[in-house]
Amino acid sequence: MTTAENQKPNRHNRARPVKGVDWLHNPVFNKGTAFTAAERDALGLRGLLPPHISTMEEQVLRVMTNFRNKPNDLERYVQIADLQDRNETLFYRVVMDNLEELMPVIYTPTVGRACQEYGSIFRRSRGIYISSKDAGQIDAILHNWPTRDVKVIVVTDGERILGLGDLGASGMGIPVGKLSLYTACAGIHPTQCLPITIDVGTNNATLLNNPLYTGLRQERIRGAEYDALIEEFMVAVEKRFPGVLVQFEDFGNQNAFRLLEKYRGRACTFNDDIQGTGAVALAGILSALRITGGKLRDQRVLLLGAGEAGMGIAGNIVNVLVEEGLTPAEACQRCWFVDSKGLIVKGRDHLNEHKLPYAHEHAPCADLLFAIKSIKPTMLVGASGQAKSFTQEIIKAMGEFNQRPVIFALSNPTSKAECTAEEAYTWTEGRAVFASGSPFAPVTINGRTLVPGQGNNAYIFPGVGLGVVCTGARRVTDAMFIKAARALASLIRESELAEGRVYPTLQRIHEVSHAIAVAVAEEVFAEKLNSQPRPADLPGYIRSQMFKPEYPDYCKT
């Protein structure tokens, strides 16, 4: 048996409470009313709990009854966050058993509203906050975290939270939510996950004037001071948690691309807004081609929005086409962009470097509709954060020259979606192949019920993270995200395609994450980026590492 096969997940790597009430106040160890009679005696809990000993099923029923009785999703978010702070094992059992119902609450779209209201709903701190006032002390701050066995960090500076913009320290809801999905979707142990917010200020005047705002009351720092803080953070993280996976999340465009390029060659890191979004969109496109027919190399993809998400999507399309034999220049010709100034074309002034490969020979087009009528794309992908930008006229135009127009409205949260599922289906007489970033309900049209796909990054990043952690990968490469996208697309069933889906149902997320982790692990070993030996049974080993929310018997452990 190899070293890797001998390794077991460290279920509780924090120091056990001493006795009594401490057990009830530690979310890692707390079982609430499920502590057995023997445990209550041994741990000093007798009399501190109601006498009935609950099963976990009874506890789940209580949580979900209360959850469903809440008046709105923000109240549900607060309730479920309180549960996570009180009893992590029960939290993950509730989430895993009710993922389709809870994911829109613990993540998009409700997490966006929660971040906007973070100062008002703040109850208990989770994760680590590092501010620009902490320069020179970041290593000491990381030392305050109660465990050294951290495998995954999600970090944000809060500048571009979903499509909502600069929310500063209130953006902490995003790392917390993302890491919840690492556990709920892929089984990475919750004690191995660390959310971090780097607070460098905010340019959001509303927050700066809000007495309940929890962050620094200053405008954002830029330039050398900002770069030095990020550098100190990356060095300290690697020192304190060697080999940890660092996921950059919701950084502004001016920092996201350059930080990824700066650190991807020297640390185990990726940017989910660029690479994760690119992979989940690519998977949806590959699935859509099974509905529309044709090959990827024959498509014309028009993307609205040339930021992190749009560039990540185009980059993955290009990488796949290069794998299939096209030159990079030929592959780039399949992707077109419309940004705030219109169609990106060769000769346009002041183009950012990352836009240049997609600046093609073409007459200028001032708006999206003009570009669609001129280019006649087979696929329209929204990553703009501009609500309702896919108008009836635009969607009807897509339907005029495509029998099955592919329309992806990927901006989050729901309030920022380029169009709704109902609009896409109705304005194309049910012919559209549709996916969105936030969930939409099924739509019945012409007697047929269509189920829109949700291009949620949760289909990608948890599985990628699991594959990285299980192999001890030293780096994260673009090829790993291509493997993840292909694995995801391969899992869509014919019955799901027939319903209009381009992604598997969320009930299958553990199967999906496991398959992606295996595909990523295979790529890690192929690229010789592993720091752990390959187990004889790779799929079995990865499955054995996936956390299951079950209560241990503390009288035996």
CATH code at position 395: 3.40.50.720
Query: Do 325 and 423 share a domain, yes or no?
Result: yes
What's the pTM value of the predicted model, to 2 decimals?
Answer: 0.94
Query: Do 195 and 323 share a domain, yes or no?
Result: no
Please tell me the distance from the alpha carbon of residue 195 to that of residue 175, in angstroms, as a whole number.
Answer: 5
DSSP 245-301: EEEE-S--HHHHHHHHHHHTTTSSEEEIIIIIHHHHHHHHHHHHHHHH-S-GGG--E
Q: Is residue 550 part of a domain?
A: no
Query: Do 309 and 259 share a domain, yes or no?
Result: no
Q: Is residue 491 part of a domain?
A: yes
Query: Do 432 and 539 share a domain, yes or no?
Result: no
Number of alpha carbons in the 13 Å side-chain half-sphere of residue 403: 5
Please tell me the distance from the alpha carbon of residue 131 to that of residue 556, in angstroms, as a whole number.
Answer: 42
Query: Do 342 and 365 share a domain, yes or no?
Result: yes
DSSP lists the bridge partners of residue 246 as 153, 269
Q: Is residue 141 part of a domain?
A: yes
Q: Is residue 408 part of a domain?
A: yes
Query: Do 280 and 367 share a domain, yes or no?
Result: yes
Q: Which residues of 262-285 are buried (b: 16+ CB within 10 A; e: fewer)?
A: bbbeebbbbbbbbbbbbbbbbbbb
Query: Do 288 and 432 share a domain, yes or no?
Result: yes
| Residue where a domain stops, chosen among 455, 490, 519 | 455
Query: Do 317 and 395 share a domain, yes or no?
Result: yes
Query: Do 434 and 481 share a domain, yes or no?
Result: no
Query: Do 357 and 398 share a domain, yes or no?
Result: yes
Q: Which residues are designated catalytic? A: 107, 178
290: its two tokens: 């099974």
Query: Do 262 and 291 share a domain, yes or no?
Result: no
Q: Is residue 246 part of a domain?
A: yes
Q: Is residue 37 part of a domain?
A: no
Q: Which residues of 111-149 are buried (b: 16+ CB within 10 A; e: fewer)?
A: bbbbbbbbbebeeeebbbbbbbebeeebeebbeeeeeee
Q: Is residue 137 part of a domain?
A: yes
Number of domains in the chain: 3
- Is residue 390 a contact partner of residue 380, using CB atoms and an 8 Å limit? yes
Domain enclosing residue 326, as ranges: 275-455
| Residue where a domain stops, chosen among 391, 425, 455 | 455
Per-residue pLDDT of the chain (557 residues; tens, 9 = 90+): 344 444 444 444 567 898 889 999 999 999 999 999 999 999 999 999 999 999 999 999 999 999 999 999 999 999 999 999 999 999 999 999 999 999 999 999 999 999 999 999 999 999 999 999 999 999 999 999 999 999 999 999 999 999 899 999 999 999 999 999 999 999 999 999 999 999 999 999 999 999 999 999 999 999 999 999 999 999 999 999 999 999 999 999 999 999 999 999 999 999 999 999 999 999 999 999 999 999 999 999 999 999 999 999 999 999 999 999 999 999 999 999 999 999 999 989 889 889 999 999 999 999 999 999 999 999 999 999 999 999 999 999 999 999 999 999 999 999 999 999 999 999 999 999 999 998 999 999 989 999 999 999 999 999 999 999 999 999 999 999 999 999 999 999 999 999 999 999 999 999 999 999 999 999 999 999 999 999 999 999 999 999 999 999 999 87
Query: What CATH number is given to the structural domain containing 468?
Result: 3.40.50.10380
Spatial CA neighbour of 360 closest among 305, 410, 300, 308: 300
Q: Is residue 84 part of a domain?
A: no
Number of alpha carbons in the 13 Å side-chain half-sphere of residue 356: 5
Query: Do 512 and 410 share a domain, yes or no?
Result: no
- List, in sequence order, the alpha helices (H) in 117-272: 118-121, 138-143, 173-186, 205-208, 223-240, 253-263
225: its two tokens: 């001071």
| Residue where a domain stops, chosen among 455, 473, 489 | 455
